[in-house]
Amino acid sequence: MKNELKMDTLCVRGFSYFEERTGSISFPIYQSATFRHPALGKSTGYDYSRQQNPTREEVEKTIALMEKCRFGYGFATGMAAIAAVLSLFRPGDHILATDDLYGGTVRIFDSIYSNYGINCTYIDTGDLDLIEESILPNTKAIYVESPSNPMMKVSDIQKIAELAKQKNILLIVDNTFLTPYFMNPIALGADIVIHSGTKYLGGHNDTLSGFVVTDSEDLSGKIQFYQKAVGGGLSPFDSWLVLRGMKTLALRMDRIENTASFLAGRLKNNPFITKVYYAGLPEHKGNEILKKQAGGFGGMISFETDTEERAISTLANVKLILFAESLGGTESLITYPLVQTHADVPPEKRERLGINNRLLRLSVGIENEMDLALDLEQALEGKS
């Protein structure tokens, strides 16, 4: 029955619906590092919380269910989840990745895993021919963010998955921006999905978390082993916070998307703005692909102001919208990707991608849409 439930029901009820043993509606926080063995060679199924913890398992199974696959693993942060996935590769392996990835992902590829002989080439994964041309004999995976961070570039996951299968390489999708509520990359043919659960899944700007999900037994076994061997698994309390946050994922995503679409329309007509990047705008490249592959466009908008001074003064002038890193929470946040999320991306690459000194990125929250529009407009105008 679980697989037949609609996504909004899955969000609220999770994997277990309620806890079987006590009937607890809110899944309990099993705040125990270790578990008593009934006898030598016997286990309750739980030995030590680095390995398994009931609260973490509940959130892992819930994410897997929402992503329409069998296996999910919870980590302390999105980056810890990405590190777990990168542990699948060996020296000499090559990865092709979207050229416009979250800066922290570029940092882990170029400053950590490159030291272990795993190299990454960044390309426009919106261009299928370019992907095919760029596959090397040692390419083991294609790593995609769609829409990407911060330029909202869209990749055709279904077509990339077909190509990856032909070439016998993995397709890994960071689905943080759309969440399982709007898109299920595994159902579109991807092998692994990554989430920064810090964002929409947790949804309240109050906890960090990361997830790896897959339908492959082989990949699942390797990620599970990594979680047990290295640690970094999500704590029981943070697992519970994500479970609680996810109960309202559907409501939040619908609301956030409506507001984002309203704000993107107003920003397009603002005299101080020269470009708006929002995947829900009909003229946005890839809008048609998302209409087919996703149930929505999400709540992330980037836009370019007419001058650098205006971008900087907007950050100082916003009153309701908060100037802070991160995204996907109940509170609307604005960032300056050039010096915040993408400082680790080389300057010439940033400029080529459009991450310039006039670009701002807005994560739309659940406040009233008109309050947000007026705050943004007064901040851009700079009269305060």
Ligand X SMILES: Cc1ncc(COP(=O)(O)O)c(C=O)c1O
Catalytic residue among 93, 100, 174, 191: 174
Rounded Cα gap, residues 260 and 265, in angstroms: 9
Q: Rank residues 145 and 156 by Cβ distance to ligand X and give the closer one.
A: 145
Q: In degrees to the nearest 10, what's the CA dihedral of 246, 251, 252, 256?
A: 150
CA gap 161, 156 in Å, rounded: 9
Rounded Cα gap, residues 163 and 182, in angstroms: 23
Cβ nearer to ligand X, comparing 50 with 107: 107
Q: What is the CA radius of gyration of the chain?
A: 21
Torsion of CA 321, 323, 326, 331, to 10 degrees: -20
Shortest Å, Cβ 173 to ligand X:
10
State the number of binding residues for ligand X (CB under 6 A).
14
Q: State which residue, 104 or 296, has the beta carbon closest to ligand X.
A: 104
199 is catalytic: yes
Q: Is the dihedral of CA 187, 188, 190, 192 positive or negative?
A: negative
Stretch that binds ligand X, among 28-36, 102-110, 308-316, 357-365 (CB under 6 A): 102-110
| Residue 50 annotated as catalytic | yes
102 is catalytic: yes
Sequence-separated (6 or more) residues with CB below 8 Å from residue 148? 98, 100, 101, 154, 155
Establish if 99 lies at the interface with ligand X (CB under 6 A).
no
CB of 168 to ligand X, least distance (A): 26
* Contact flag: residue 185 with ligand X (CB under 6 A): no
Q: Does 155 bind ligand X (CB under 6 A)?
A: no
Counting contacts by CB under 6 A, is residue 74 touching ligand X?
A: no
Subset of 105-124 contacting ligand X (CB under 6 A): 105
Q: Which distant-in-sequence residues (6+ apart) come within 8 Å of 5 by Cβ? A: 13
Question: Residues 374, 318: contact at Cβ < 8 Å?
Answer: no
Q: Which of 153, 199, 244, 361 is catalytic?
A: 199
Active site residue 358: no
- Residues β-bridged to residue 273: 305
Q: How far is the CB of 47 from ligand X (least distance, A)?
A: 27
Binding residue for ligand X (CB under 6 A) from 104, 245, 296, 329?
Answer: 104
Q: Which stretch binds ligand X (CB under 6 A): 72-80, 211-219, 287-295, 354-362?
A: 72-80
DSSP symbols for 25-88 = SSPP----SB---SSTT--SS-SBTTT--HHHHHHHHHHHHHTTSSEEEEESSHHHHHHHHHTT
Q: Between 84 and 311, name the residue whose CB sits nearer to ligand X.
A: 84
Q: Pattern of binders to ligand X over 206-245, x per CB under 6 A? A: --x-x-----------------------------------
Positions marked active-site: 50, 102, 174, 199
Q: Which residues bind ligand X (CB under 6 A)?
A: 77-79, 102, 104-105, 145, 149, 174, 176, 196, 198, 208, 210
